[in-house]
Amino acid sequence: MVDGKGLTRRRAVFTGAALVGGAALMSGKTATAAPRRTWEKSYSGGEPGKPHDPPGQAGKDYQPTTTPGGRTASFKVVDGVKVFHLVVEEVEHEFAPGLKATCWGYNGGVHGPTIEAVEGDRVRVYVTNKLGAPTTVHWHGVYLPNGMDGVGGLNQRAIGPGETFKYEWTFRQYGTFMYHSHHDEMTQMSMGLIGMIVVHPRRPPPEYRVDRDFVIMLSEWAIKPGTRRPDPNEMSDFNILTMNAKAFPGTPPLVCKTGDRVRIRLGNLSAMDHHPIHLHGYYFKVVATDGGQIPPSAQWPETTVLVPTGSTRDVEFVADAPGDWAMHCHMTHHVMNQMGHGIPNMIGVKPGTFDKRVRPLLPAYMTMGQEGMGEMATMHMKNPKNSIPMVGGDGPYDAITMGGMFTIVKVRDQVADYDKDPGWYEIPEGTGADLASAADLARDGISV
């Protein structure tokens, strides 16, 4: 590979032929004409100050993406330039029914809206700071003039409270990228100042076309039960794990029709964690990172993709199996809500008459956890004000003993409205797990 380094690949976009020769000299190999990759062929944008393409139109130049639980940024076109406006402000945000917090967001929401554009688009993004603190915006993974990169102190002075800054560039690549504050990152990203960017190819190769194109930002928060401010000082004990700032059971499903080609663009801007995202019922291929498309010959099948913090991963599959398929982070503590970790291990404890003896001192006392945490999903215990149970969403059979970074891909033969939850999948008679009958046990010689 002559393009192993990001910078080299980037340059290859502009001076492909010259670079191939140079790299071959360095590696001592004979120069051969490296095939141009599909995503390079698609490139058509100008360098800053040079002509750019006309603004790409939804429906004509690209199929819009869906950000479940979030939203897409609106823009207007002024003299051929797409103009966006991000307002940084304090926002009341609901993570799941019963849990709200005062966060920092963009345009009245947490996280920021997905910025969607087409390669070759010229964009101008105004950023108005309505916080009490200075801020900046960094455009993660995007090729920009250095002065637009948004690192406070390094590329610009921070945007003071009440000020509006202007960023402007031409998208010269396509893919899945992110944006986030680059001033006092630890505080500002933990408070919610992050968002996704999707850039579609100007001339998409046939394999780019999908029917459903989802965008999911993974993040983590520390919100102690009963409080309503995320704690940015937390370093390891994050207790709210989110997809587009929603924690299960607050995460909306990803609705697909049987046979749909599906892309899921995962971004991770968690403070301290990577997330292995696992999809049930399917395998997918990892087709892109925030460094660009992965050539088809280098894509491999997976059912779990690790999304390191500060990275994006695009996965694709064909939704050919109807059902309600779980998709979640496979770190088991990341599918819990507001889990406290300073608790004793009660597994196997036999409390005997202990509860009875404690109750004169603590009237509501109940020994819990001897059989694990699952029962907490069904107990409907009273929670501290503004907090949610560690696990538990209502399912069609029982409580779903999951929380946090968990959602459901709902694949149906008929879909009237992709934006509407189709309810629970009805498992066809005789195809589900069920209580074994005495006849089954006898036939197979199973003694219990």
Calpha distance 173→171 (Å, rounded): 6
Task: Give the residue, chosen from 191, 216, 245, 329, that forms a contact with Cu ion under the rule CB under 5 A.
Answer: 329
Q: Give the span between the Cα atoms of 133 and 139, in whole angstroms.
A: 20
Please say which residue, 182 or 334, places its beta carbon nearer to Cu ion.
Answer: 334
| Contact pattern for Cu ion over residues 382 through 421, marking x by CB under 5 A | ----------------------------------------
Binders of Cu ion among residues 419 to 448 (CB under 5 A) are: none
| Cβ contacts of 320-323, under 8 Å, gap ≥ 24 | 320/258, 320/259, 321/258, 321/281, 321/282, 321/411, 322/258, 322/411, 322/412, 322/413, 322/425, 323/281, 323/410, 323/411, 323/425, 323/427
Of 332 and 367, CB closest to Cu ion: 332
- The two three-digit tokens of residue 421, written as one number: 């939850």
Tokens of 381: 């215990």
Q: Which stretch binds Cu ion (CB under 5 A): 14-22, 223-231, 299-307, 329-337?
A: 329-337
Closest CA to 155 of 178, 128, 182: 182
Give the shortest CB-215-to-Cu ion separation in angstroms. 18
Q: Is the Cβ–Cβ distance between 127 and 86 less than 8 Å? A: yes
Q: Shortest gap between Cβ of 167 and Cu ion (angstroms)?
A: 31
- Partners of 178 in beta bridges: 140, 196
Nearer to Cu ion, 125 or 400 (CB): 400
| Piece of 36-44, 47-55, 156-164, 334-342 that binds Cu ion (CB under 5 A) | 334-342
Nearest to 393 by CA among 334, 341, 434, 335: 335
For Cu ion, the closer CB: 86 or 215 = 215
Least distance from C-beta 405 to Cu ion, angstroms?
5
Spatial separation of the C-alpha atoms in residues 295 and 337, rounded to whole Å: 38
Q: Which stretch binds Cu ion (CB under 5 A): 57-65, 185-193, 332-340, 388-396?
A: 332-340
**Cα–Cα distance between 324 and 411 in angstroms, integer?**
6
How many CB atoms lie under 10 A from the CB of residue 256?
A: 24
Return the residues of window 136-195 that contact Cu ion according to CB under 5 A: none
Cα–Cα dist 412/431, whole Å: 16
Rounded distance between C-alpha atoms, residue 256 and residue 173, angstroms: 28
Q: And the tokens for 198?
A: 């999707």
Q: Which is nearer to Cu ion, 148 or 240 (CB)?
A: 240
Number of chain residues interacting with Cu ion (CB under 5 A): 4
Q: Minimum Å distance from CB 72 to Cu ion?
A: 25
Residue 339 CA to residue 366 CA, distance in Å, equals: 18
Residue 238 CB, nearest approach to Cu ion (Å): 9
Question: Of residues 331, 349, 415, 427, which one binds Cu ion by CB under 5 A?
Answer: 331
User: CB 273 → Cu ion: shortest distance, Å?
Assistant: 6
For the bound state, the minimum distance from the C-beta of residue 404 to Cu ion, rounded and expressed in Å, comes to: 8
Q: Measured from the CB atom, is 334 or 410 closer to Cu ion?
A: 334
Interface of this chain with Cu ion, residues 269 to 328, rule: CB under 5 A: 275
* Residue 157 to residue 332: CA distance in whole angstroms: 41
Q: Whose Cβ is closer to Cu ion: residue 111's or residue 183's?
A: 111
Q: Which is nearer to Cu ion, 86 or 247 (CB)?
A: 247
Residue 87 or 331 with smaller CB distance to Cu ion? 331
By the rule CB under 5 A, 334 interacts with Cu ion: yes
Contact in structure between 215 and 57 (CB atoms under 8 Å): no
* Least CB distance to Cu ion at residue 264 (A): 15
Q: Mask: binding to Cu ion, 50-89, rule CB under 5 A, as x and -?
A: ----------------------------------------
CB 185 within 8 A of CB 154: no
Nearer to Cu ion, 37 or 275 (CB): 275
Tell me which residues touch Cu ion (CB under 5 A). Answer: 275, 329, 331, 334
